Each structure stands twice: as C-alpha cells, then as structure tokens.
Amino acid sequence: MSPRSKPRPRRAAHRPASAATRPADHAEFLLELGCEEIPADMIPRACEELKASLEKHLAAAALSDGAVVEAFGGPRRLAAVIRNLPLKQQDVVREVTGPSKAAAYDAQGLPTQAAAGFAAGKGVRVEDLFVVKLPKGEFAAARQLTRGRPTAEVLREIAPRSLAEIAWPKTMRWPAPGNPRFIRPVRWLVALFAGRVVPFEFAGVRSGSHTQGHRFLGRRSIPVTNSADYQSRLRRNFVLVNPTERRQKIQKELEALAAAHALRVHADEALLDKVSYLNEFPAVIPGGFDPSFLELPQEILITVMRDHQKYFAVETPGRELAPHFLAVINSDRDRRGQMRAGHERVLRARFADARFFWAADQVKCRLADNVPKLAAVTYETRLGSYAQKIDRMRGVARALALDLVPALSQAEQFTPRGVPLDRVSIELNLDVVDRAALLSKCDLVTEMVHEFPELQGIVGGLYARAQGESEEVAVAIYDHYRPAGLEDALPRNLTGCVVALADKLDALAGCFAVGKIPSGSSDPFALRRAAAGVVRILVERRLPLSVLRAVEAATAMLAVHNSRIARPAGLEARVAEFVADRARFYFQERRGYAADEVKAAMAPGWDDLADLADRVEALRRIRVTENFPPLAAAFKRIRNILEKSAAEEAIPEAPDPARFAAEEERALHAAAEAAVADVARLKPARKYQQALERIAALRPVVDRFFDKVMVMAEDRAVRANRLALLRNLLLEFSVIADFSEIVTAVTAPKKT
C-alpha cells in the first residue's frame, strides 16, 4: 500500500489552526539553547532576562509592534518564541540636513562642491537635495531611505546578543571555539524563523533545526519546524518544555498519591518550584520509611526530606507526620521499582545519620556545656566569637527586658479595642530571658547543626526541651532566628521576642560599627532582614519599646565586651534610621498603607513602632472621611505660608487674642484651643482616631478663616499674630501625623 495512493487529510488538519487567520507577512521565531544542566534556581530568572533582552532588541529594530515574546525553560534548555513578527522591517525615510544654503548653492542657485559631497555621502543624487528652513537658518537637506532589512537577518544579530545578555550569578569556561563563557556548556541551538533556520553562532555552537529529547527516554536528534511541533515532539520524547505544565503534573500526582493513602502533602511551594525546574519530565513516586524514625522531631525529618532529598513529606489529616514520602523523579515511571527502592534506601541512611547525631549530641554534653566551645566559632572577624556575641546578647536582652516589664504593665490599657492581644504571655522573667540568651547559640557546635545548618535554633530548642530546660526557654531558643522574612512566623513567646530582638540588634549595631553596611544588593549579614525582623516583632507583638534606646543598648554592649570595636559618631542614629527605613517598607509593602500615610505618621516620630502602627491605622481610617481631605489641603497651605514667610517675619511664640481683628480668626483660635485640650487628653490614651476626628471637625472653622481672613495683612503686627495662630495650629495638630504630607485631590483656595 503506497502512502501516496491515499489522500491524507489528517496531515492537513495538523497545520496550526491559526495559520489561516494569521497575515502571511508575519511569522514566528523559535529559539532554543540546549545546555548541560542549568542550576534549577537560576532558570526562571534567566527566562525573564532572555524575554526582556529580546523585547529590547526587537524594539530597537522597530520589530516589536504586535510581536509577542514568550520565554521558558528547563534543566537542559532555554527557549523563546516570538509570535507575529513581520517578515521584514518597514522602510524608513529620514530627513538629514547638510551644509547651509549659502554654502550648498552658488549665486546662480547651482549646487556647489559641498552640496555634491553631502549628496554623495548620503547616497542621494545632488538634484534630489532640497532646502529646509530651521531656526538657525536655511540648509540643504536630503531625504534618505533606509530599506527595511529582512527580519531573519535582524534575528541573526538579535538572538545571540540576547542569549549573551543573560546575567548569570556565576559563569564558566569550557573548551569551545571562541572561548565562550556561559552558565554551563552550550551543546545545541535551534533558531527557526518562518520554518527556516536563522544561521548564527553562539558559544561555539551553530544554530540548526534539531533539538534533543530526554537523556534516557527520548531521541537524540529531533527535527522541528515551529513552536507547536517543537512542544509536541518534545513531549513525545519525554520533555515538557513548559514549566507550568511540569509544575501542574507534579502537583496533581502528589495530591493523587497522598489521597490514595488518605493522607495529605505537607505543603511546600518553594520545593514544588524547585523540583519543577530540576526535571525535564517529572513524575511522582511514593516511598516509605520505618515508623520508628518518627521518634525523631518532625522538624529534623522534614528538613532531611525537603532540603537534602527534595522529597515531599506526607501527613495525616490530623497533621501528624506519616512514615511516607513522595519523590519527584526525572522519568515517566518507575519501571521495575528500582527508583523507589533506591530513594527509600538513601532516606533510611540519612535518617539513621540524624538519629546517630541526635544520640551523639545527647551523650556528649548538655547544651550549656557548649558555651565555652563557642569561643572557637567566629561570628565576624572584628566582632569576635559567638561566645562574645552571646555575652553581648545577654546584656541587650536584659536591657530590653528591664524596659519592657514596666512598659507592658502600663501598655495593657492602651491596646485598642477589637485588636486581639497577639501575645502568649505578658510576663517576663529576667532570669528566664538570660538563660534563653545564654543557650541560644549553643547548638552551633552540635553534630546535628553541623550536619543540618538550616536547623540552627530549632535544634537548640529541641535539645533544650529534651534536657529539661523550661518550656519558655526551649521555645525562645527554637524561635529566636524568627522572623526569617516578611512572611515568616514570629517568636511565639515574649522571652523569644526579647532574645530575637537582642540577636538582631547586636547584628545591626555590630555590623554598622565595623562598616559592614548593606549597599545595593550586597547584604552578607542579612541586616535588612534583621531590621525587618525587629520592626515586625515590635509592631506585631505590640511591644512598647523605644527603637533608639534598644539600639543604644546594643551599641553600649559593643564597648563592654570588646573595647577594640570603635563606635563612630552618629552610629546609634544611623542604625535607628536603618530600622525606620525597614519600617517604612514594612508598612507600605506588607501592610498596604499608602506612602503618604506612612510618611505623615512617621513625621512626628517613629521611635515607638507599635505606637506608629496605631497612628498610621487611625490616619488611614480618617483620611476617607468627609472633613479630612479639605483639612489636609488647608494644613498643606498653612505649611506653605509659613515656609514662605519664615525668613521675613518675626512670629511671636503664641498669638495674642487681643490683636485678632476678624471674627473668623477669633473663632479659629477658640476652636483650636478647645481641640488642643481634647487632643492632649486623647493622645496619651492612644485614642488616635478620636483625636484625629476631633481635629478634622475643625474643618468648617478653618475653611471660614481662609475664606474671610487675609493672612498676609498690611499691618505687620496683625500679620505676625495670624502667622503665630497658624503655626501653633500646625504644631499642635501634627503630633499624631503631619496632615500636610497627605496627598489630596482638593486644592485649597488660592487667596492668602
């Protein structure tokens, strides 16, 4: 049976459906770079950069109109598809000016040598030159036509340039023509425009039309013609090029396998991201382990599974860890059960190790016995060892606790109604705090943390509990590295909060003192995270501490324990400013306050961040009320008036009621006095919203004042008196927030 004897309708149907509707003068570009395994974490970023580079170069080549760029990748390839590209660039006509008319044409109006030279230089005939009138005079000009180049030609330049522009964290060299540098050796290139190869060379490899399938399950050389058959042929060869598809496949299989055992997957988005970039064709297989390992703390078991083996832990509906795991394999299926057996064996050995470390640590010594060993562990060259850091932390923790104890008993009454007290306890025992600070770093010299550094703190907490330390101490040690980011949980008890603050404040004070200050993307001691942690603990645990005093406690300890650490002038203020800057970021990015709200609330002060949180919240609530925007506009106007007149006018301390000339200014003064008295009562009680409402209620009086009263009166004394009235108004009512910082749509009346 000859294939030719039969019509082959299926072939025709295979053509992409959009081909018919797509204009024939547009086509698609497919680019694939085949590479030895790219580190999984770097792939998403590289795809973004490739896309951005292509878009940039297309725009520069006037080819970006209507073109849609997509980039994606996996461990062995980066790919990009540009749809809807014109077949050639548009022709462009450009007008260029040359010599002045006087130089280009002689008295008879005939072109001179200069004109001929200019025309030749621009590639036009001299008779096609014309004269343009410019502000500088009249000039000879030429109309230059740049013919659009075929897109394929442009792509030959753009594609290698875009690949070269991917900024990898670390590149390597390998033997290839031209001594290329890339993340890993490049092994093949596919570049097809309108189905034809776009020839170029990159990293010593020439572009072609053949891709490669899965290392073991797919074919070695697969011809492709466009993005649709690129994806489908690769799928048949066990490569899913689309990361979203890989992720969804993994997620679906994880859930199905867990459900089959009436269990659930221990959710882990970061791990899911990672494994979807580690495998070309991921599949999930189940595995189990000896239930006796469940005696080990869950944290350790999960860390071993997640960080070391990239397995998903599985738990019962009651959130108890189950003796099972789910592994993502780089294959379609576990043909003979070998993969499962292998993964189970490795996990068994890892768990046995962990059990060995646990037992060895318990036998060797108690946590407290490790304190002297910390003298041999460097924290930072000039800041000394962890033993010294612990000494400093104990001092800072004590200072914070001493401030907190009285403040807390007082602060209880200020907790706004309706806001739950987000604290486990409000009791703070100085000895307990000191014990927790003393033991906080002792797990750094245990076998367990040596093996699993990511479990620092957690191991200390677990050991403390196992060795009979109080629960308050154990939990505080366990939690003291928290929060690790904007999303991470906070220390659960108050002792933990104090130790965590002491740890972070010491890091900030110490590193600023020795000049290890974060700049740009470089922040090796994670000081931004430390400062953000300070902010979150103070705000979300509602701890009424002074930032500046806390920082001072930390810098004071620097001198106590190491006289060699110089304390540059202004150190405390700089550290506090750094914390304030993180607070600004936190309130805007994490809490969703507008930039002007945060600025306005920080203007009168930010030393008490829990208090700042209350004020900014009150401000957000008041700003949507009817009276507020006009009042804010009026305050802005007052500030402008005062700024303009500050230099010339001698404004008295307070306005003299006897000098008031207009009824409206008398009224404003009286209303303001009453409001000041009320605010003075409300503010210490932290009834900020009521206070702000009280101020906002001044609006009609303020409006009438500005309607009827000319501030800049002829009479010098009257004028100064009015300015004094306004200045006091601004001062008295900016103690909660500086209204004049609030951006309003209302424009105040022009008259002054």
Q: What are the residues binding another protein (CB under 8 A)?
A: 36-37, 39-41, 75, 170, 172-176, 184-185, 187, 215-217, 278-279, 309, 311, 327, 329-331, 334-336, 338-339, 341-343, 345-349, 352-353, 356, 376-378, 385
The whole-angstrom separation of Cα 473 and Cα 542 is: 21
The whole-angstrom separation of Cα 97 and Cα 99 is: 7
Question: Closer to another protein at the Cβ: 338 or 521?
Answer: 338
Q: Cβ 396 to another protein, closest distance in Å?
A: 23
Q: Cβ 325 to another protein, closest distance in Å?
A: 10
Question: Closer to another protein at the Cβ: 136 or 170?
Answer: 170
Determine what percent of the chain falls in helix, strand and coil, rounding each to the nearest 5.
55, 15, 35
- Neighbouring CB atoms inside 10 A of 407's CB total 15
Question: Closer to another protein at the Cβ: 143 or 450?
Answer: 450
Q: Cβ 178 to another protein, closest distance in Å?
A: 13
Q: Cβ 195 to another protein, closest distance in Å?
A: 28
Place of tokens 């005093």: 549
From residue 152, give the alpha-carbon distance in Å to each of 57, 87, 162, 165, 401: 14, 7, 15, 20, 70
Question: Closer to another protein at the Cβ: 57 or 266?
Answer: 266
Q: Cβ 92 to another protein, closest distance in Å?
A: 43
The torsion defined by the Cα of 559, 562, 563 and 566, in degrees rounded to 10, comes to -70
Question: Closer to another protein at the Cβ: 184 or 584?
Answer: 184
Question: Closer to another protein at the Cβ: 309 or 625?
Answer: 309
Q: Cβ 120 to another protein, closest distance in Å?
A: 49
The whole-angstrom separation of Cα 631 and Cα 623 is: 10
Question: Closer to another protein at the Cβ: 385 or 470?
Answer: 385
Q: Cβ 560 to another protein, closest distance in Å?
A: 22
- Neighbouring CB atoms inside 10 A of 140's CB total 25
The whole-angstrom separation of Cα 387 and Cα 375 is: 5
- Neighbouring CB atoms inside 10 A of 117's CB total 15
245 within 8 A of 283, measured Cβ to Cβ: no
Please give the structure tokens belonging to residue 147.
């013919």
Q: Cβ 565 to another protein, closest distance in Å?
A: 16
Among the listed residues 358, 333, 328, the one whose alpha carbon sits nearest the alpha carbon of residue 451: 358
Question: Closer to another protein at the Cβ: 40 or 701?
Answer: 40
The whole-angstrom separation of Cα 199 and Cα 190 is: 9
Instruction: Give the 3-state secondary structure of 617-645.
Output: HHHHHHHCCCCHHHHHHHHHHHHHHHHHH
Please give the structure tokens belonging to residue 290.
């000896």
3-state secondary structure of 396: helix
Question: Closer to another protein at the Cβ: 47 or 81?
Answer: 47
Q: Cβ 441 to another protein, closest distance in Å?
A: 15
The torsion defined by the Cα of 308, 314, 315 and 320, in degrees rounded to 10, comes to -30
396 within 8 A of 406, measured Cβ to Cβ: no
3-state secondary structure of 456: coil
Q: Cβ 200 to another protein, closest distance in Å?
A: 19
Question: Closer to another protein at the Cβ: 349 or 746?
Answer: 349
> What is the helix (H) or strand (E) element at residue 230, kind and residue range?
helix 227-236
Q: Cβ 376 to another protein, closest distance in Å?
A: 6
Question: Closer to another protein at the Cβ: 216 or 468?
Answer: 216
Q: Cβ 45 to another protein, closest distance in Å?
A: 14
643 within 8 A of 717, measured Cβ to Cβ: no
Question: Closer to another protein at the Cβ: 140 or 327?
Answer: 327
Residue 322 DSSP one-character state: E
The whole-angstrom separation of Cα 582 and Cα 569 is: 22
Q: Where are the beta strands (DSSP E) in 101-136?
A: 130-134
- Say which amino acid occupies 240: L
End-to-end CA distance of the chain: 99
Q: Cβ 235 to another protein, closest distance in Å?
A: 18
Question: Closer to another protein at the Cβ: 226 or 330?
Answer: 330
627 within 8 A of 742, measured Cβ to Cβ: no
Question: Closer to another protein at the Cβ: 14 or 220?
Answer: 220
Among the listed residues 514, 743, 547, 723, the one whose alpha carbon sits nearest the alpha carbon of residue 639: 723
Question: Closer to another protein at the Cβ: 349 or 670?
Answer: 349
| 201: phi then psi, degrees, rounded to nearest 5 | -125, 140
Q: Cβ 344 to another protein, closest distance in Å?
A: 9
Cα three-residue angle 483-368-559, rounded to 5 degrees:
65
Q: Cβ 48 to another protein, closest distance in Å?
A: 19
The whole-angstrom separation of Cα 158 and Cα 51 is: 12
